[in-house]
Chain A
Amino acid sequence: MKFTFSLKPENFIIERDDERCIRCGACVQQCAYNAHYYLEEKDKVLGINHNCVGDGRCVAICPTNAIRIKQAENPYRPNYNWTKERMMDLYEQAENGTVLLVGMGAPTPHPVYWDKIVLNASQVTNPSIDPLREPMEVKTFLGSKPDKIEVVFDKNHKPEIKTRITPQLELEVPIMFAAMSFGAISLNACKSLAKAASEMGTFWNTGEGGLHKDLYKYGKNTIVQVASGRFGVHVDYLKAGAAVEIKIGQGAKPGIGGHLPGEKVNHEISVTRAMPEGSDAISPAPHHDIYSIEDLRQLIYSIKEATDYEKPVFVKISAVHNVAAIASGIVRAGADAVVIDGIRGGTGAAPKIIRDNVGIPIELAIAVVDERLRKEGIRNHASLIAAGGFRNSADVIKAIALGADAVYIGTAALMTLGCHVCGMCYKGICNWGIATQRDDLTKRLNPEIGAERAKNLLKGWKHEIQEMLGAMGINSIGSLRGNRLNLRAVDIHEPYLSILGIKPAGA
């Protein structure tokens, strides 16, 4: 039985300036959501508002700038409790009885503390530094640091470090590309990020999708992920990367597994993941060999054994209520870095209800984890990497001042490739050739251009970070790490002030 009695309001209105439109057909051909069509008898190009997802592809490509996309008004009676979105969701579920899927990070109005934290600058009492003319170090090493360093002198009084330093990742800029699997995103998107990372001296992450044969050459700048589905995981894969990341959780979907729908599993993906074409790629919610911190230690050390102790092993979790205690356990389990993904972290597909309601903001998580590890005297045993909705270099530098060593950017990285955060990634027909495996769509993303643009973003952010450091009178990012005195809060109140461990502005 199929019946519909719900109003199905559109989200966007497509406006076209008919005077300008030259009937080139670009919008018609390019919109995978079929939001434009050509009406031959009237020689007009028309829009289907209902189909528009607002990803801006047509606006960007229209040669005469004829298209405007506007937000559609709420056709329902305004109601604070029953917003348009809630009503639409409910009607959809009444029809299908399904779990609602979404892509990208939570758009919910959970407070973004970054916007309420301000940075310090030097005035009179200490000089600021000009990064254009003076050295300014932003190089960062990720990995476990020894408690002390023993130096011995040989006969000729030459010093030599006796302490064995465990493997480290060397980052020219403390920003890496977050885990996004080949599967969730296209090979061209992976290539863009891999190339950008290797040219900028930072790292990209395979996500749980194995490593495509074309990407092995970026191995030196690759972090390979091991998640519960163990797709594409074998010794050569573990050894191909510079570090191995065990994924326990993801900010957008804490506590639940992954699920790449069968229709996305095409030939290349099936080869890379070593699974049949067209079969669902299901990652179980937990790793079934990890039911405790002791088990996690076992997986960490099995990877270290398999890679002959040559690669740092990261553990990624989503920021949840007991994140500080969990992070402490992870460090004690032997991880070289803890990755924490906050509630605003992105995804290719997740149940909406989980994405929007589970987890805690990354700002609070960084603060409590750094604090806890310091108090326990184990902060040096592992690096802390933060992720989840970083939008600009100020967010990054604030995260570092709160206690992170480096950050992962996912959504921001995809935006350099054209993503307009439409949130339709789970449909697999991304107009920008990113979250799709359809050949006609993926070829729209040129990996050379993509890499250039992703590189530009990192360059820009690096310069900005240097400027902000210089303004604070600091000449090395290491001196800012966990230096919360350089942060002040505007309009943040207790208890969050003490959780963040920063003073209110003016104090």
Chain B
Amino acid sequence: MANQMREAAIVGIHEYPLRVAPGRSAMQIKVESIKAALDDAGLKWSDIDAVYDTNDGEGGGGLGMAPYLGLKPTVIDTTQVGGSSYEFQTAHALRDIAAGKANVAVLTYGSTAASSRRAIGTGGATGQGLPNWQGNMEDPYGMITVGNYALVAHRHMHEYGTTTEDLAEISVATRLHATRNPEAVKAMTDLQFMGTGEITIQDVLESRMISDPLHLLECCMQSDGGGAVIIASRDVARGTKKKPAWIIGTGEAIKYRENGGDITTSAAAQGGPIAFAEAQVTPAEIDIAMIYDSFTITVATILEDLGFCKKGEYRDLAKGGRFRFDTALKPTLNTDGGGLSSNHPGMRGIFLLFESVRQLRGESTSQVAGAKLAIAHGNGGALGGTHAGGSVILAAD
């Protein structure tokens, strides 16, 4: 059990500041981020003995990353489950450190999705690569990334009466937080958003329909970016520069299309309870919910699945400005501005960890006073089809 034992903590973070970074490679973004995250922790290059990688640089996963860095780590992990990779890797780092296999782990991300015009968010398409069992059954029908999520949204609306107004609460609160984060404002400016100020529910309703029922202002941006996380053992964490954010619970699960299955329920329904049981806390105690906002429906579904409300009751949870940093209701949502309005280079999971840590340290631009508990939940793959869900519950020192 790795619960309140506090065997490992996030001790260093760095979010790469630019969302449009032409002329840089993913590997360079990763390395600049490691240096800054080590500095944030007060640790040095030679302290790293575990490398976790998603194969997002110029290839090779951990096998490519360690040689580029010039390290000979004792743990190499190339877990790649899309946007939730970093929550899975955090879970693995906790286990590896608790088992005595490593003391200082590094997780990195680098992406040039905007500069290289990779298709994600509103732009994603399918149907490339070798002939395969899934593609042959789906490619003739024209699935696109946002369409996959829209399938979830329509069924959610049909079964529970959820409306676009309900979902738009996520866009509105997230944009409020983005307007307070200078890096998010710069991101929206550099990516030529039509406006970078606060938005209303009406603005969301009137934005262009992308794939019914999801509107433009319900979809994530497509940016460059990256960053690094340093996770250390209890002994190392006691001597780092800033207050550690203790990893007190983790959960991992996948979900996929099944005959008769419930598309409105995500992998979080399986992995979330495991994380909460390990952490010995309840959803009601969570101050900060950093939930992967590829699209509004992703957040609504995951909040239900993690137990912030019952399945189908998101519409009630969303009321009263609950998600804003400046109301007393919990949980506060995506205080960095989210994938909708701050940073989404394709795999947002690592940014959920950054902002959770900032809140627990008291460093957020939309700080919730006295935040003690945060959950980062990454969703990788596609919500309406095959996807992975990883939960990490963090506690302040």
Q: Do A and B come from one complex?
A: no
Interface residues in chain B, defined as those with a beta carbon under 8 Å from any beta carbon in chain A: none
